[in-house]
A and B are shown apart, each in its own frame.
Chain A
Amino acid sequence: MSGRERLRHAAVPFAVSLLAVFLACLVGGLFLELRGKDALHAYQVLIERGLGNPGQRTETLKQMAPLLIISGGLAIALRAGVWNIGIDGQFFVGALLCGIVVPELAGDVPRAIVILIGAIAGLVGGLLWAVVPGILRVRWGLNEIITTLMMNYVALNVTSWLVKGPVRDPERVAPETKQIPLSDRLPDIPGTSVHIGLLAGLLVVVLVGVLFRSTVLGYMFTALGRNRRAAIHAGLPVGRLTLLALLLSGAFAGLAGANDVMGVQGRFSGNWHPEYGFTAFALVYLARLNPFAIIPFAFFFSFLMVGGQSMPRRADVPTYYIGMLEGLMLIFFAATVALERLWSRATRRAPEDAPLAIGAASAAAPVSAESDAGDGAVSAPQNTALSAGETR
């Protein structure tokens, strides 16, 4: 493929995503106008307050970190055809574990080690939280959508209980773990006031990109996610791959939690409920599961979140508008991707018309006794987000 062809081939999927973003902003803007707000002004505020001044830019960059890490993990899961909806729960458990472990070490151990251990705590916490749904899926064929979803709520309750009781900072009234002294929190990137979590996030995304592109494991994940039958047919260890994908995405979600605890919050608080999960979903899909595209989209979503916080005061638009936009983007994405698929089918040369060809998804019950032999389309996003021109 020539350079220009390759560029065009890569550009189409992003054009689809950008179109979805644009349509969402348009429709959202129309809605604002209907409600009597000045849409253009609102968007202006958004951009200004997200990017306009250095302080806000710093905030945006800081906000990127957890998004990057969580999205990187989610990309692994979705790529392998596993629906990990439990990233919020995994985030919390990782964050809590970090918040428990780090203050104990602070002061006695060099900062670098402390941070490293904190990160590991986050990874472990998130991973542990993905183990149960993983095993249930691989051993008993239980659909991971429901199990990871339930684990979210269990996580909410478990962490809440723990932080109000056993692991609460005895010196405070509020339910939170002990404070991590400032000296042991994530340092800033020299020359900026953004903590190194951002670098960690970028690193994670790059690693995931490398995983997909250059490793055997990444290759196998991709094959599994795109055509499960072919993967089974080729003798790939499908059960183990599924479990691993789930565990990895959980671990990264936990790491994101650790990032927030060590870099921003300084402790795990029972009243703290950031919900990156849904944003990450929208992010990863719009980025067409491409890790490198995740970076600009993470930036985009990040500045939306930051700028959105100023919208109520300056444009009389509630912050929830951002969440609404995200949802609209994903909805339009679904529509535009369907159109992309129709277009690609029309322009692509069809090799032969097999009259009774069996469609790609021949569904067997996803919740069944056979662990991983025949799963339906529900348990694998062999879906339009991955088809037709996805780039690596």
Chain B
Amino acid sequence: MNIGGIDLDTFLTAMLATGLLRAVPLVLAALGEAVAERAGLLNLGIEGMMLNGCFFGFYAAYRTDSMVVGMVAGILAALVLGLVFGVLTITLRVDQVLVGIAITIFSLGFTGYLFRDLLGGRNVSADVHPLRISIPGLREIPIIGKALFDQQAIFYLSWALVPVFAFLLKRTRFGLNVRAVGENPFAADAAGVDVVRVRYLAIVIGGIMAGFAGAYLAVADLRIFTEGMTVGSGFIALAITMLGRWNPYRIVIGAVLFGMLRALGDGLQVIGVDIRTEFIGMMPYIGIMLALVVLAGRTALPSALGVPYVRGHR
């Protein structure tokens, strides 16, 4: 079947593939943020951490031609910011929103600076050769075949993390502690849980995942770096986390929908449908707000979100 000169199959495949690809960084970042928020930490620095992951991941990959090195570098770079966030908000008990915004502002400048300084601002591309996994047979399935079964290894790894996080939150001691600490830190403390340690671990995970997301974006997906390339993806991930009520599977749905909506814009243009890109561009954001309104009653944030914990006070 033909639409505007393009085979429908190809079109849908492209849409799905792009959508899933676009969704990966969102999912990764949102998973980390879910853990952090469940533990009571609202991390607005997620955008900055992701950007850090983008740049350092890209730079390392560019210099070593190795994707793995790139990913690790990106993760570490974001992790450092995560620790800064942790120290300021957990130990020094400064307001989380302030610290998060500060980190994001810093990262925007920092990565922009290094981009100019180290790469001369040129849009070079990293010459990485990522491992691809292609499943014969499955990849022949029309429409979804190529999108799902002919991707880089890291693509599969990323999706595999979703059940890992679900398991982490539901079935491990750490996950239980996290869920308790974000809701009633006093209870957790009284039960013998080290609230401070749990929170630090939570933000470390948040940082790692944000870094992973950024590195994925720059190294595995786009293979270049531009200033501010996250374009609010970190914040979108934050919104998706809240919408998904910190449940990894619901987060996936949100992220995929968002990714596909984003891809839709490009796709429609390609087949010549005359809708402004911007119009489609707005949709995801409006969608999120609508979803927030609809789910308002049922979206109960962890009660201790944003509140520093002091023993002896309730």
Contacts from A to B (Cβ < 8 Å): 35, 83, 85, 132, 136, 140-143, 145-147, 149-154, 157-158, 160-161, 164-165, 278, 281-282, 285, 312, 317-328, 330-331, 333-335, 337-339, 355-359, 361, 363-369, 376-378, 381, 383-385
Task: A238 to B44: give the CA distance in the assembly, Å.
Answer: 26
* Given A281-B105, A335-B92, A323-B112 contact (CB < 8 Å): yes
B232–A153 touching, CB < 8 Å: yes
Contact with A along B221-239 (1 / 0, CB 8 A): 0000001000010010011
Using A149-B232, A320-B115, A361-B306 as known contacts, list a sample of 13 further A-B pairs with CB atoms less than 8 Å apart, ordered by residue number in A.
A83-B97, A150-B285, A164-B278, A281-B101, A318-B112, A326-B109, A327-B102, A327-B104, A334-B94, A365-B303, A367-B300, A381-B98, A385-B95
State the Cβ distance, B273 to closest chain A Cβ, in Å. Answer: 15
B293 in the interface (beta carbon within 8 A): yes
A-B contact pairs, 14 of them (CB 8 A): A136-B289, A136-B292, A140-B293, A142-B292, A146-B239, A146-B288, A161-B281, A278-B108, A326-B105, A335-B92, A358-B314, A377-B95, A378-B307, A385-B95
Chain B residues closer than 8 Å to A323, beta-carbon distance: 105-106, 108-110, 112-113
A367–B278 touching, CB < 8 Å: no
A322–B109 touching, CB < 8 Å: yes
Instruction: List 3 A-B pairs, minimum CB-CB distance, nearest first.
Output: A327-B106, A323-B109, A324-B109
A contact patch SS: helix
Residue of B nearest to A136 (CB): B293
How many B residues touch A, CB cutoff 8 Å? 63
Chain B residues closer than 8 Å to A281, beta-carbon distance: 101, 105
Chain B residues closer than 8 Å to A140, beta-carbon distance: 293, 296
State the Cβ distance, A121 to closest chain B Cβ, in Å. Answer: 21
B310–A376 touching, CB < 8 Å: no
Contact with A along B293-307 (1 / 0, CB 8 A): 100110111111111
B313 in the interface (beta carbon within 8 A): yes
* Given A136-B292, A376-B301, A325-B109 contact (CB < 8 Å): yes
Q: Which of B101, B104, B242, B305 contacts A376 (CB 8 A)?
A: B305
B106–A363 touching, CB < 8 Å: no
B253 in the interface (beta carbon within 8 A): no
State the Cβ distance, A152 to closest chain B Cβ, in Å. Answer: 8
B88–A338 touching, CB < 8 Å: yes
State the Cβ distance, A87 to closest chain B Cβ, in Å. Answer: 12
A150–B288 touching, CB < 8 Å: yes
Residue of A nearest to B299 (CB): A367
Task: A51 to B207: give the CA distance in the assembly, Å.
Answer: 40
Q: Which of A164, A312, A322, A338 contacts B276 (CB 8 A)?
A: A164
Task: A331 to B121: give the CA distance in the assembly, Å.
Answer: 26
Residue of A nearest to B295 (CB): A367
Residue of A nearest to B310 (CB): A359
Chain B residues closer than 8 Å to A385, beta-carbon distance: 95, 98
Task: A317 to B114: give the CA distance in the assembly, Å.
Answer: 10
Q: Which of B95, B304, B312 contacts A381 (CB 8 A)?
A: B95
A150–B289 touching, CB < 8 Å: yes
State the Cβ distance, A208 to closest chain B Cβ, in Å. Answer: 20
A161–B109 touching, CB < 8 Å: no
State the Cβ distance, A166 to closest chain B Cβ, in Å. Answer: 10
* Given A153-B232, A324-B109, A377-B306, A383-B102 contact (CB < 8 Å): no
B116 in the interface (beta carbon within 8 A): yes
Task: A290 to B282: give the CA distance in the assembly, Å.
Answer: 36
Residue of B nearest to A162 (CB): B278
A377–B232 touching, CB < 8 Å: no
B99 in the interface (beta carbon within 8 A): yes
Among A85, A143, A320, A339, residue most surrounded by chain B Cβ atoms (within 10 Å): A320
Chain B residues closer than 8 Å to A328, beta-carbon distance: 106
A320–B106 touching, CB < 8 Å: no
Among A150, A328, A330, A377, residue most surrounded by chain B Cβ atoms (within 10 Å): A150
B296–A369 touching, CB < 8 Å: yes
State the Cβ distance, B47 to closest chain A Cβ, in Å. Answer: 10
Q: Which of A324, A367, A384 contacts B301 (CB 8 A)?
A: A367
Chain A residues closer than 8 Å to B97, beta-carbon distance: 83, 145, 378, 381, 383
Chain B residues closer than 8 Å to A366, beta-carbon distance: 301, 305-306
A327–B307 touching, CB < 8 Å: no
A378–B99 touching, CB < 8 Å: no
